[in-house]
Amino acid sequence: MGLTIAEKIIQKHLVSGEMTAGAEIGLKIDQTLTQDATGTMAYLQFEAMGVERVKTELSVAYIDHNTLQAGYENADDHRYIQTVTKKHGIRFSRPGNGICHQVHLERFAVPGKTLIGSDSHTPTAGGIGMLAMGAGGLDVAVAMGGGAYFITMPKCIRVELTGRLRDYVSAKDVILEVLRRLSVKGGVGYVVEYGGEGVKTLSVPQRATITNMGAELGATTSIFPSDEVTRAFLKAEGREGDFVELFPDADANYEKVIKIDLDELQPLAACPHSPDNVKSVKELAGKKIDQICIGSCTNSSMLDMLTVAAMLKGKTVHPDVSLSISPGSKQVYTMLARCGALADMIAAGARILECACGPCIGMGFSPRSAGVSLRTFNRNFLARSGTADAQVFLVSPETAAASAIAGVFTDPTTLGSAPEVRLPERFLVDDNLIELPVAAEAAGSVAVERGPNIKPVPTQTPLVRDLKAELILKVGDDITTDHIMPAGTKVLPYRSNVPKLSEFCFTVCDPTFPERAKAAGGGVIVGGVNYGQGSSREHAALVPQYLGVKAVVAKSFARIHVANLINFGIVPLTFKQAEDYEKFAQGDEMEIRGLADAVRSKTEVTLENVTTGERVTVELTLTERQRGILLAGGALNYAKSGAEE
Ligand code: MIC
Ligand code: SF4
């Protein structure tokens, strides 16, 4: 039988396991990326592994998340990353160079290669035909050291695109439609592959918008073919030599096929507080808006920016609306400035921000209380904007620009025909903000600078034989990593300071959690379906581990988060019967006799609620490697014990 695009890339990179859906496979990783909010921890772990030089073809460290520097902390982290990368063979993308995914797509992504990044939106590079996946920082550190990246062999969903997008309908509307149909858990265990005649009508940045937000489906990754459009994009970036053609075989096997006629799509919006809570903009038309933010790794390409500038040209942003625009990269920003489009944005009243994540991760621009904010971003999780009672809607740049002028939700297709936007044939290429590492022989001369904010990685202790602990928190379905380990201005500066970070753990759900967890000496967490969706931040496992959490029992888990839990020695257990979730209440005493034995060799174990006397069966879905990691108390201990090459 023929192969899908993903299967072709996997086959070429397979270092262990068999390509049967559901089996664990190990992949050789060609490229890695980190950003600063996860990178500090990833490099501390890389250093702890004792590898002198990265073994990948290319590794890049970006500074894009923690760019609001209200104290010394973020700047300390930046300097640490700058020096540690110089020493160990990693390129350093300076603050000001742009958002990791946008810059990587422009300058480094290569069709047919593998990439992992310590950021869940790494699949952005799937827009160029790369197998690009989000991972925890520790997994990225291991890949930099030449180790394999382990995933569950995914199944494939094919999204068949026909037709062509109408004026003012956007790539963002395509992915919102996919989210509407599949939900935030619909992609778990799958690669989402795009195909069909409609693909040819989409440029690489449009494709990248779609694969970027595919992260919100819970998918392993999303990918487009590499075709003549891909070649043209690489040529515009002066990298035509990186082009390879990549299509699925005609008889490739897809588990599901979804059909989308681009002609029939209309502008859509994801309503609070989930990216799959999708309605048409028409239904929301007329609703008052307080704030609009355009940018993020989803919608900050030259195409998006030129479209917005053309729509704002000669107009004024509505007096009740505050509009921010953050171009995605220095390349985009400079081209906008040179062609005059930036002036059109400024003249209309847009507040131009630096090319970084900014408001997307709550770094400034929080909406007013109970404010309505329209954002071209990919996540509208509760409190992520920094304002707990804000109503955040996710929309296309076209809907955002139309609404910014009107002051109310506006369906852009009601504006007639769209202004013509042409991308330059050649992009402005200047990698002057990418620092190269020193040669291996000179590595000894580089001193790694660690500011006082950088605390050592907490140590890991081997798994307990029997578990007896309190149920310290019970939460519902679709708990995100923004619930577990929030971000934003107050918290992000402490990503390399776990003791301080722990004061914010789960505070979105329960402000007393950190104190209670400490007082109880740790415990167990119970969750619903899709526990840990969203970000790749390993801090959502590392910090609970630091607070003494030994196990999470849930109805199901999100892919990256469950890998992070295992890496940090927290046992993920799944209710055999989903309704057993009801048999537990916060404060109950829990017991698992022979937990370590079960982790060593069993697929089921009994969980007892000592308080009520109820006993239920929970499942352990673990590979041999994962069992070893959990028994050692975490992946760092496991690696040190020599169990992994
Ligand atoms: C996000 O969008 O949530 C982030 C911030 O980019 C995260 C990474 C992080 O928490 O540092 C992600 O998506 O993985
Ligand atoms: Fe940055 Fe937002 Fe993209 Fe995360 S989703 S990488 S915070 S722009």
Q: Where are the alpha helices (DSSP H) in 511-623?
A: 513-520, 539-546, 559-567, 595-601
Is 357's C-beta closer than 6 angstroms to any atom of ligand 2? yes
Summarised one tens digit per residue, pLDDT across range 307-334 is 999 999 999 999 999 999 999 999 999 9
Is 361's C-beta closer than 6 angstroms to any atom of ligand 1? yes
CA distances from residue 338 to 182, 302, 312, 401 in whole angstroms, order as listed: 41, 12, 17, 21
Domain 268-414's class?
alpha beta
CA distance 396 to 593: 52
Nearest bound ligand to CA 209?
Answer: 2
CA of 535, closest atom in ligand 2: 4
Summarised one tens digit per residue, pLDDT across range 122-174 is 999 999 999 999 999 999 999 999 999 999 999 999 999 999 999 999 999 99
What are the structure tokens assigned to 440, written together? 């291996």
CA of 492, closest atom in ligand 1: 11
Put the strands of the sheet holding 114-117 in their side by side order. 131-134, 114-117, 31-34, 58-62, 91-93, 434-435
Angle between helices 100-107 and 204-213 (to 10 degrees): 140
Nearby residues of 512 by Cβ (< 8 Å), 6 or more positions away: none
Is 119's C-beta closer than 6 angstroms to any atom of ligand 2? yes
| Architecture of the domain defined by 5-264 | 2-Layer Sandwich (3.30)
Q: Where are the alpha helices (DSSP H) in 385-475?
A: 397-406
pLDDT at residue 645, rounded to an integer? 39
**Under DSSP, is residue 147 helix (H, G, I), strand (E, B) or coil?**
coil
Nearby residues of 311 by Cβ (< 8 Å), 6 or more positions away: 398, 401, 402, 405, 412, 419
Closest CA to 216 of 508, 535, 487: 535
Helix (H) or strand (E) holding 173: helix 171-182
Q: What pTM did the predictor assign?
A: 0.97
CA distance 248 to 253: 9
Is 33's C-beta closer than 6 angstroms to any atom of ligand 2? no
Nearest bound ligand to CA 356?
Answer: 2
CA neighbours within 13 Å on the CB side: how many for 597? 6
Is 361's C-beta closer than 6 angstroms to any atom of ligand 2? yes
Summarised one tens digit per residue, pLDDT across range 233-291 is 999 999 999 999 999 999 999 999 999 999 999 999 999 999 999 999 999 999 999 99
What's the distance, Cα to Cα, between the start and end of the chain in Å?
A: 34
Task: Compute the average pLDDT of residues 391-419.
Answer: 98
CA of 38, closest atom in ligand 1: 11
Candidates 3.40.50.800, 3.20.19.10, 3.40.50.300, 3.40.630.10; CATH matching 467-488+498-635: 3.20.19.10
pLDDT at residue 642, rounded to an integer? 67
**Ligand 1 mean position, distance from CA 162 (Å):** 32
Nearest bound ligand to CA 119?
Answer: 1
Summarised one tens digit per residue, pLDDT across range 72-97 is 999 999 999 999 999 999 999 999 99
Q: Which amino acids are annotated catalytic?
A: 64-65, 119, 379, 535, 537
Q: Does the fold of domain 268-414 match that of domain 5-264?
A: yes
What are the structure tokens assigned to 360, written together? 């997307």
Question: What are the residue boundaries of the structural domains of the chain, listed by start?
Answer: 5-264, 268-414, 467-488+498-635
CA distance 438 to 431: 17
